[in-house]
């Protein structure tokens, strides 16, 4: 057995060496407890930071989604405006072409009138020229207005003289076309000058 001197034992009956070992063990345990507490608090802080980081990430993600939706709406409205612009531009171009072609045809009407006058005076040579001119213009959209015995319509006929109607005829009819009228692209280019019966 270990023999311990009586001097080496204190009042409690423990040796000073044992007390030192006890103190060291206690301080090591306290140190470990402090480290564990630090670890727990750092884990808590990390969890809080992680939650805060998740919140900020979630907020920034939601902000990105909102920004994306704004840009998408803006893009859709710009696209719709551009589509409308294209349609309007095409419509204007078509109208401008129709109007320009109509002006050219209108400038040719005196030539057609001269051909009609020549044919009515017996110039048979002009008939082929008139027919070729009328055919080529009809292919482009010209329509003749005014035929004898059709019903009088003041929107396409210009009445220059009247004659009494035949018994039993209730409506007014065109008895003679004095000057040919023309439609161009569905619009009246020049009304027909006619003699009306009835």
Strands (E), 45-120: none
Sheet holding 157-163, edge to edge: 157-163, 192-197, 173-179
- DSSP lists the bridge partners of residue 193 as 158, 179
Q: What is the b/e burial string over 161-185, where b = at least 16 CB atoms within 10 angstroms of the residue's CB?
A: eeeeeeeeeeebbbbebebbbbbbb
φ/ψ bin of 185: left (φ > 0), alpha (ψ from -120 to 50), beta (otherwise)? left
Contacts of 89 (CB under 8 A, 6+ apart): none
What pLDDT does 75 receive? 95
What pLDDT does 48 receive? 53
Write down the CATH superfamily of domain 142-198. Head domain of nucleotide exchange factor GrpE (2.30.22.10)
Mean pLDDT per 10-residue interval, the chain, length 198 residues: 47 56 66 60 52 65 90 95 96 89 88 90 89 90 87 89 80 88 87 88
Three-state secondary-structure class, residue 79: helix
Provide the token pair at 196: 């009306």
Distance CA 125, CA 132 (A): 12
Q: Are strands 187-190 and 181-184 parallel, antiparallel or unpaired?
A: antiparallel
What pLDDT does 56 receive? 63
What pLDDT does 37 receive? 56
Provide the token pair at 175: 């008895």
- Among 109, 192, 106, residue whose Cα is nearest residue 153: 192
Three-state secondary-structure class, residue 9: coil
What pLDDT does 1 receive? 45
What pLDDT does 19 receive? 61
pTM: 0.53
* Residue 12, burial from CB neighbour count under 10 angstroms (0-12, 13-18, 19+): exposed
């Amino acid at each position: 057995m270990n023999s311990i001197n009586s001097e080496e034992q204190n009042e409690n009956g423990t040796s000073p060496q044992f007390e030192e070992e006890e103190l060291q063990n206690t301080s090591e345990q306290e140190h470990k407890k402090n480290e564990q507490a630090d670890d727990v608090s750092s884990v808590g802080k990390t969890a809080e930071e992680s939650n805060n980081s998740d919140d900020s990430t979630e907020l920034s993600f939601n902000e990105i989604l909102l920004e994306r939706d704004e840009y998408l709406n803006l893009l859709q409205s710009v696209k719709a405006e551009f589509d409308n612009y294209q349609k309007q531009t095409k419509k204007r171009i078509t109208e401008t072409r129709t109007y320009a072609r109509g002006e050219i045809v209108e400038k040719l009407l005196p030539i057609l009138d001269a051909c009609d006058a020549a044919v009515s005076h017996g110039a048979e040579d002009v008939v082929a020229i008139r027919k070729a001119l009328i055919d080529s213009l009809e292919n482009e959209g010209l329509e003749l207005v005014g035929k004898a015995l059709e019903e009088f319509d003041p929107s396409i006929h210009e009445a220059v003289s009247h004659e009494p109607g035949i018994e039993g005829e209730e409506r007014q009819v065109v008895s003679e076309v004095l000057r040919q009228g023309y439609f161009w692209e569905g619009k009246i280019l020049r009304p027909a000058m006619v003699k009306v019966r009835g």
